[in-house]
Chains A and B, each alone.
Chain A
Amino acid sequence: MAVIRDVMPAFELFQPASLADAVSLVDRYATDAWILAGGLDSFDWLKDRIKRPRYVVDLSGVAELKGVRESGDGVDIGAMTTLTEVVRHPVVRERYGILTEAAEAAASPQIRNQGTIGGNVSQDTRCWYYRSGWSCYRAGGNICYADTPDAINREHAILGADRCVAVNPSDTAPALITLGASMVIRSVAGERVIDAEDYFVGPGTDITRMNVLQRGEILAAIRLPGDWAGSRFYFEKVRDRQVWDFALVSVASAMTLSGNTIQNMRLAVNGVAARPLRLVAVEALARGRARDEDTAAMAGELAVQGAQALRLNAYKIPMMRNLVKRAIRGVEPWTIS
């Protein structure tokens, strides 16, 4: 249980200067190694003494993992690039505005200065039952305390729950899925590249993890293709307060139009399931239809099919429905007459 704060248990700290050294270290100490990026998720775990790794591999000294580089018609973003750097990068701002918006919506300026994009997509869930150290499914136990008749579960999942009802807290994840990003993963065995939407896993597939990173693997970079660069984007994050808060529900979409007809689109939501969800059925429905209220209403209804509310989060169903509608038809700026 979280009884001692601010005093971390002892661990051996490694600060490699190259990616090769980093993957070698996480391979050598695979079962006991903790990978430290910006530390904003990690230090909560360590200071609460709920995670007690024997070895911590701090990636902050690995220059190869930092920065935004143009590559072909897209860009490669090093996993250790801070959210502030992502937000301020001119190419990202110009071509991938949705990522700028999403990264800028994360937490607070101080946290964005320290937090990395790799950490943002790889962070653990914020379910407080789990983070309090209780023996829930996600922690290797046999119950979900957030899915009980008297649970405090206002922020939890309405879709994709499978024993665990935690949600993914990343702001940048739905934007990256919408942009068709790829995740570049390195290990001593080499490099593998997977689609952003396949980077995240739900509890049905693996209840103790939120992404596909295996022991000994490091997320090295995020690759943005040029396919959706400069298209019409929409990002919205609904939260209880406008700064330093996780999304209750967020939506990200990219679309190309021919006149007022939706030619192609990608749409993803987060905060509603243990993984950010790409809504492929909604995309298929919208494709070829007029970008109007009717299409938006149909898409909104389709998006929430199968949603199942817990005790305190039924509000997320209309919220998700409306966010999907807004992502498709857009939002007119408010005017005060």
Chain B
Amino acid sequence: MDYLLTWGHSPWGQQILTHVSWNLLWASLFAGVAFLLAHASYMVLSAHRKRHPDETDAMEASRPHLSARISRHSLTARLFHWVMAVAMFVLLFTAFLPIAGVKFAWVTWHWMAGLVLAASITFHMIHATFWMDFWSIWVGPKDLPELRAEILREFGHDVPGPKPGKYPLGNRLYHLAIVVAALSVIASGLTMMVRVRTPLFTRNPYLLGDATWGVVYVTHGMAGVALVGLVIAHVYFAVRPEKWWITKGMIVGWITRRQYLEHHDPHRWVVAETARRAETRTP
């Protein structure tokens, strides 16, 4: 059990949780890199099936009034994403570089970046709830046919089945994982801030009992090491050549008409067609 969690004892001699074992950091790092290598190898060797160019040509021909540029992410959404990304990197580096042996005064940077992350995610939740297509990013039982179709395509089968809406299935599954990890790390991190000196409020190390504090620290550590693997996977997919158009969309805010038709189901991500100018419904 010491390989997963570290234990101490309270002043009353009771055994209490203190942290996750930092072995888990290396495990998460290893898992992230192993996944990256396995997926990269698979992509070189596999027969995953893409839509035929003539198929996409035909779709483009049938939608002559579709704008050449399809708006994918609003400026607000993009700003949120990049602020969150910077905060996440600061958090990961300040948390784990000292454990890896790079020593510096990290605590203030860490909690400040944590507050930026918490604020940006709070903003995102409000923005996504009221100004975006809230359900487009979530996964549920309705996505099982798409999952089946994607798996078959990966094995080289010609499957006419459902294409994704605005967000590919992998994207939505990743979002679900990051929601769980990020909300866990933020909730536990905000609670832990009560124990460190900040100008924001008076310290209260007795807010929770020793055992409960242990659970909070372990939750923070578990979510933190999980984020290491998740961020590795995210960066990997962001720089993969066949995914670069998605990354570019997160930078410039739009994708091309051809990318839209090639990768998405126009019935699930509906974009209005006009003869004169690009007018898209951007959830």
Contacts and interface: CB of A to CB of B under 8 A. Distances in A.
B103 A206 contact: yes
B18 A140 contact: yes
Contacts of A202: 105
A162 B213 CA distance: 18
Contact of B214 (A142, A162, A163): A142
Interface string A134-158: 1100011111110111000000000
Contact of B18 (A141, A144, A145, A201): A141
A134 B272 CA distance: 66
A135 B104 contact: no
Nearest to A204: B105
A336 interface: no
A163 B8 contact: no
Interface stretch (B9-17, B66-74, B160-168, B262-270): B9-17
B214 A147 contact: no
A161 B10 CA distance: 22
B51 interface: no
B238 to A, nearest CB: 33
Contacts of A189: none
B156 interface: no
Contacts of B100: none
A145 B10 CA distance: 10
A305 interface: no
Nearest to B210: A143
A40 B8 CA distance: 26
A110 interface: no
Nearest to B19: A142
A1 interface: yes
Contacts of A163: 107, 195-196
Contact of B8 (A135, A201, A205, A206): A135
Q: Looking at chain B, what size class is its interface with the partner chain?
A: 20 to 34
B217 A142 contact: yes
B11 A206 contact: no
Contacts of B108: 204
B197 A161 contact: yes
Contact of A201 (B103, B210, B217): B103
A148 B205 contact: yes
A204 B205 contact: no
B35 interface: no
Nearest to A136: B8
A38 to B, nearest CB: 27
Contacts, number: 56
B247 interface: no
Contacts of A145: 11
Contacts of A162: 105, 107, 196-197
B196 to A, nearest CB: 6
B120 interface: no
A205 B18 contact: no
A205 B213 contact: no
B224 to A, nearest CB: 14
A148 B195 CA distance: 10
A14 to B, nearest CB: 26
B206 interface: yes
Given A142-B217, A144-B205, A149-B206, A135 B9 contact: yes
A163 B107 CA distance: 9
B170 interface: no
A204 B106 contact: yes
Interface in B200-240: 203, 205-206, 210, 213-214, 217
Contacts of B145: none
A206 B18 contact: no
Given A148-B205, A149-B206, A140 B6 contact: yes
Interface in B134-174: none
Contacts of A143: 195, 205, 210, 213
Given A142-B214, A143-B213, A148-B205, A204 B18 contact: no
A149 B214 CA distance: 20
Contacts of A201: 103
Contacts of B19: 140, 142
A142 B106 contact: no
B64 interface: no
Interface string B80-99: 00000000000000000010
Interface string A1-15: 100000000000000
Contacts of A139: 8
A139 B13 CA distance: 15
Contact of A206 (B9, B98, B203, B206): B98
A333 B168 CA distance: 83
Contacts of B9: 1, 134-135
Given A147-B203, A161-B197, A140 B105 contact: no
A320 to B, nearest CB: 19
A213 to B, nearest CB: 12
Given A144-B205, A147-B205, A205 B103 contact: yes
Interface of B: 6, 8-11, 13, 16, 18-19, 98, 103-108, 195-197, 203, 205-206, 210, 213-214, 217
State the 8 A-B residue pairs at the shortest beta-carbon distance, nearest first.
A135-B8, A204-B105, A141-B8, A141-B18, A142-B217, A205-B103, A142-B18, A206-B103
10 contacts: A134-B8, A135-B8, A135-B18, A140-B6, A141-B18, A142-B213, A147-B203, A201-B103, A204-B106, A204-B108
